[in-house]
């Protein structure tokens, strides 16, 4: 009987080729099931898994930084003989995923982020008051059901309304530090709505699943991320004032460094048709992961195709206007409809890490506004 070849090294009889291939398929399926099972149960991780190693090195990292809060979650040291806190594992896994599973890079980024949060105190920005005549109407946080790409039952969405600064863009962006502080407050409000302290789902390892931003229990995606919408109605992409460029670049750099794995998808709406070629050119310079997260559309009323009918009517949905339902930061004058975040002490405080020892304890550049 003639022989066949399944691979370069293993000759088999042709009559056994189908059986051999079926056996290999079964073996591959079992290996995939085992991999998925590890992503369903963090208590079953291999000893040398990066997340396990991250947990072991966390005490030294917290002692080095003197700080133990990230995204409103207290990073807890694991008492001997007890499993790590689930919310702590969630944060560590986010930093691992942001660095493609590289533990060394993840530790470095987490260390720098903790140092920044200790110094900058972003949680305090939630209770600070901002001038409405500078930043009013620029940003809202809301929730939607039926987003087609995340497959989550509910998603937190941050709307960035750049056209709100149309009358006086220099007033909004002229004081770079003030604008950055306002934008950080909006980001912290977004994270608060994600309610990470109540998280119970497993965040899979980097690279697991066909779509890393679509949650499928144990198989891929991080359900604890927000969606961003960038609305460019009445915005020009040309002749940017230096103030806007400076503020935008600082936000981009800060969010890349200190807010990894917090955004699942970004939707750019009301983008002029003439700029579509630029968006295509930008894709040539982006990573595959970045491209997968971004969608551009000329008409704002197309957004409902991605975020469902809960979005406001101007975005093709049936929901009320953002001013009526959206959460926003605190302003020095009362607003109509929009709910300003109130003083809140829930979640982790900006506690120094030494107090925990021994106990069970990401934007896009805003272009020029048409005047």
Question: What are the pLDDT digits (tens) for 80-131?
Answer: 889 999 999 999 999 999 999 999 999 999 999 999 999 999 999 999 999 9
**Range list for CATH 3.40.525.10 in the chain:** 122-315
- pLDDT of 177 strictly over 80: yes
- How many C-beta atoms lie closer than 10 Å to residue 292's C-beta? 15
What integer pLDDT is reported at residue 109 of this predicted model? 98
Q: Cα angle vertex 359, ends 205, 119, to 5°?
A: 70
CB-CB contact of 279 with 271 (8 Å): yes
- Residue 221's pLDDT band (boundaries 50, 70, 90)? confident
CB-CB contact of 296 with 263 (8 Å): no
Cβ neighbours for 138, distance < 8 A, ≥ 6 positions apart:
160, 161, 162, 164, 165, 172, 182
Where b means 16+ CB within 10 Å and e means fewer, 220-250 reads bbbbbbbbbbbbbeebbeeebeebbebbbeb
Average pLDDT, the chain: 80
| Helix (H) / strand (E) containing 278 | helix 276-283
Q: What is the domain class of 122-315 according to CATH? A: alpha beta
Report the greatest alpha carbon distance in the chain.
Answer: 88
Alpha-carbon torsion (255, 293, 262, 335), positive or negative: positive
């Amino acid at each position: 009987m003639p022989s066949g070849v399944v691979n370069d090294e293993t000759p088999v009889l042709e009559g056994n080729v189908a059986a051999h291939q079926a056996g290999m398929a079964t073996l591959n399926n079992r290996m995939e099931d085992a991999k998925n099972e590890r992503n369903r149960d963090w208590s079953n991780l291999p000893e040398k898994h990066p997340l396990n190693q991250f947990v072991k090195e966390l005490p030294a990292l917290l002692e080095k930084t003197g700080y133990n809060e990230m995204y409103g979650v207290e990073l807890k040291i694991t008492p001997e003989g007890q499993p790590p806190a689930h919310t702590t594992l969630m944060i560590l896994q986010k930093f691992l995923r942001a660095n493609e599973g590289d533990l060394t890079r993840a530790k470095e980024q987490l260390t720098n982020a903790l140092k920044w949060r200790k110094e900058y105190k972003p949680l305090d920005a939630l209770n600070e008051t901002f001038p409405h005549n500078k930043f009013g109407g620029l940003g809202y946080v809301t929730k939607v059901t039926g987003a087609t790409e995340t497959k989550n039952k509910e998603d937190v969405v941050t709307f960035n309304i750049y056209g709100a600064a149309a009358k006086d863009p220099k007033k909004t962006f002229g004081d770079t530090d003030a604008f950055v502080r306002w934008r950080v407050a909006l980001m912290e409000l977004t994270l608060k709505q994600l309610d990470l302290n109540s998280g119970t789902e497993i965040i899979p390892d980097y690279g697991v699943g066909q779509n890393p931003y679509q949650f499928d229990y144990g198989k891929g995606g991080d359900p604890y991320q927000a969606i961003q919408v960038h609305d460019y109605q009445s915005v020009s992409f040309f002749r940017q004032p230096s103030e806007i460029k400076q503020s935008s670049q600082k936000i981009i750099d800060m969010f890349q460094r200190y807010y990894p794995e917090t955004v699942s998808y970004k939707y750019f709406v009301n983008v002029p048709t003439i700029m579509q070629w630029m968006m295509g050119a930008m894709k040539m310079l982006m990573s595959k992961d970045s491209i997968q997260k971004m969608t551009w559309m000329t008409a704002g009323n197309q957004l409902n195709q991605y975020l469902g009918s809960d979005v406001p009517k101007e975005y093709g949905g049936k929901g009320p206007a953002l001013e009526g339902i959206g959460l926003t930061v605190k302003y020095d004058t009362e607003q109509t409809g929009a709910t300003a975040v109130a003083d809140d002490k829930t979640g982790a405080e900006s506690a120094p890490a030494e107090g925990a020892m021994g106990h069970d304890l990401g934007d896009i550049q805003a272009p020029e506004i048409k005047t």
